[in-house]
Chains A and B, each alone.
Chain A
């Protein structure tokens, strides 16, 4: 039996006390335990930033890569071994700024990854600059007169590109978040969970309280995740209550399922076959 203890890393945590990332780490551990996945059966890929340090604090196989590049790296790993369960931990700067192009195309590929975007509207590791999701007017040391660029709407972006699993979570509600992560892992295809994650160092002091008052967990009576148009509407509107939960879910053929070379097992398990190469070379 796998337990939370199995997922506790020996490596000392480096996040600020009270960081919103702790809720995400806890939710990941709970989701993995509930899915009965063992640490050596999971690969966590991350980019750069506070979010990207997550796999060090979780016992797992880990590739902590470059800023913005977690998605292509995870894509390569998934193609090499499509039986892998891969989670990507990334931040709003990592995924929506530096790695924005990769996000667009990972969604188009519908590669079977579960992407957790730790979204706190600031760059924590470089000390508080505005991220692409920062609201207009947000003042930082580098945006001294307030942010003037339109904030990116991750849910709307993912829905518009046809992502098959689009959800928003809140790190302050790790029980709810772990359910989302579990559903994301179980979803065959690209899953993105944008996670509202308070930054205790660079967000306003009352940020936890503010989120707690403003998030609104969706239930079945409010929203059917198969309703694409309603999901789009919800993602477009700025409401006083922020919906959290699965906005949209629909399975469609994923990347590795559509490649003939992968139909009889992962690339990594194949044996070198000189005879077949002989015929390939001879064809010329």
Chain B
């Protein structure tokens, strides 16, 4: 029997909510189930309210679900905030002595069981045991995942947690959900990972060897995943003194010949904008991830948004070519990041990846394999490639706008680059003809860059109505299409990953077929809608916008679309 179960575990920051979420997710993953988990937390280390919402299914799931089957309330606040989202057949787990009357309530002596296991600190592991028992997970599988997870810790801590999950597990007399763990095949090709890890893996697959960053939510996780690999591959990651330093270090490393990246969020990207121009005028390939969160300024540090698109395509003064990509799912995060490195290098331009908190901090099961290339194509010129290395001119004008790029101190060719406008030889010029020549040279790259742009993903493209979005909302948008089509509505979707240079022709082709298209974006101004209008002359018939910092639920998009269709 098909199933689609949502579990929400809520409590204060510091109660180990993420540990519960991670245990549940990994046990389900190991059993061959599909998992999608969102991580909702406040910008604080202790207290407040945070939750993890895990969706488990026997079919692929790409977005969170709004209705809750099991609510694990690690505090009474969680019950108060989320009780109305629990389905009628749902279960609410809460500390036994909570003085609340509710038919769905199932009191669990979390604290007592945790004390029995060795300490109050294991309450979260008790909760995981209870949930997994309700789902009918095999005990042995839970123990395996726990053992793996606590492998690096002491045996005492592992034993305590094994006991805690066991006590939670035994507390449940019978599974409440049948068939969840019986059909799972445990396919090994599937991965469960968060978007930030996929981005880091994409960077490594593109032979990224240097990363510099300044900690900023929700981008820090990406650099954290890189740091973990520093002992295994030729890779250096440095925590810089600020974002300006981070991006300039990256430019320096790229100039010297290694692929390099930084990751930040909107505020940090603001600090990097002058250097984006430096990369552009010195034609140095760099990759910058902007993991978006709501702004302006500090905004909502731990929440999600897609409100930096217009900013990023224009960031830094004057005009120059750049690439902008917005990964639409975890596999895309891997592939788009690797492609960003490749294309930045090929065209000697900055490439920017627009991720967001939802993509970076959520866990997704993916079936697509993360293929590692057997070789990485490099775009450097050595002395042997150059006709006359002693007369090397870094910015030699070519038809494509791309000049052979020699590396400093790797041969006889002297590499001279400069943030002032320069001549072909890299030295400063104020000559009017030279200036025009260099602007035209840089812009000449746009023609081929646009040809590299891939078409948006089309889902039921022949429909009357198309929902149009970009980046991480693809999963929610496509599921909204499913809901609407099940309701007899002739609706499809178009989701963009390659955003800049805007694929004008590809976009026009898919959009002009529809009777109308509606923008679906996590900002208040339908920014992609504005770009489409500017670039293609096509106007959206309306927009479904969410900018409260929380990810879209498919049902929200479906309901709003119904309103537009009325």
Contact = CB atoms under 8 A, between A and B. Distances in A.
Given A101-B245, A279-B232, A284-B193, A56 B256 contact: no
Given A80-B210, A104-B241, A268-B407, A280 B252 contact: no
A261 B227 CA distance: 12
B375 A65 contact: no
Given A84-B256, A267-B234, A281-B370, A272 B375 contact: yes
A102 B212 CA distance: 14
B249 A72 contact: yes
A64 interface: yes
Nearest to B193: A284
B372 A80 contact: no
Given A79-B210, A262-B236, A277-B233, A64 B417 contact: yes
A274 B374 contact: yes
Given A40-B411, A64-B417, A69 B232 contact: no
Interface string A127-158: 00000000000000000000000000000000
A71 B233 CA distance: 26
Interface residues of B, number: 65
A276 B416 contact: no
B522 interface: no
A40 B232 CA distance: 33
Contacts of A270: 209, 234
Contacts of B537: none
Interface in B241-261: 241-242, 244-246, 248-258, 260
Interface string A246-284: 000000000000011110000110101110111111001
B236 A261 contact: yes
Contacts of A259: 236
Interface string A47-61: 010000101100111
Contacts of B197: 284
A33 B231 CA distance: 39
A41 interface: yes
Given A48-B419, A56-B428, A64-B418, A278 B372 contact: yes
B439 interface: no
A247 to B, nearest CB: 24
B230 interface: yes
Contacts of B236: 79, 259, 261-262, 267
A17 to B, nearest CB: 19
A56 B427 contact: yes
A267 B410 CA distance: 13
A39 interface: yes
B282 interface: yes
A62 B210 contact: no
B139 interface: no
Given A40-B414, A56-B418, A274-B372, A79 B248 contact: no
Contacts of B246: 72
A124 B491 CA distance: 64
Contact of A80 (B207, B231, B258): B258
Contacts of B545: none
A214 interface: no
Contact of A76 (B212, B230, B372, B415): B212
Contacts of A180: none
A276 B278 CA distance: 34
Contacts of B256: 43, 76-78, 80-81, 84, 268
B282 A63 contact: yes
A62 B417 contact: yes
Interface string B20-59: 0000000000000000000000000000000000000000
Interface of B: 191, 193, 197, 201, 204-205, 207, 209-210, 212, 229-236, 238, 240-242, 244-246, 248-258, 260, 274-275, 278, 282, 370, 372-376, 407-420, 425-428
11 contacts: A56-B427, A63-B417, A65-B251, A69-B278, A72-B246, A75-B245, A77-B256, A81-B409, A267-B258, A281-B370, A284-B191
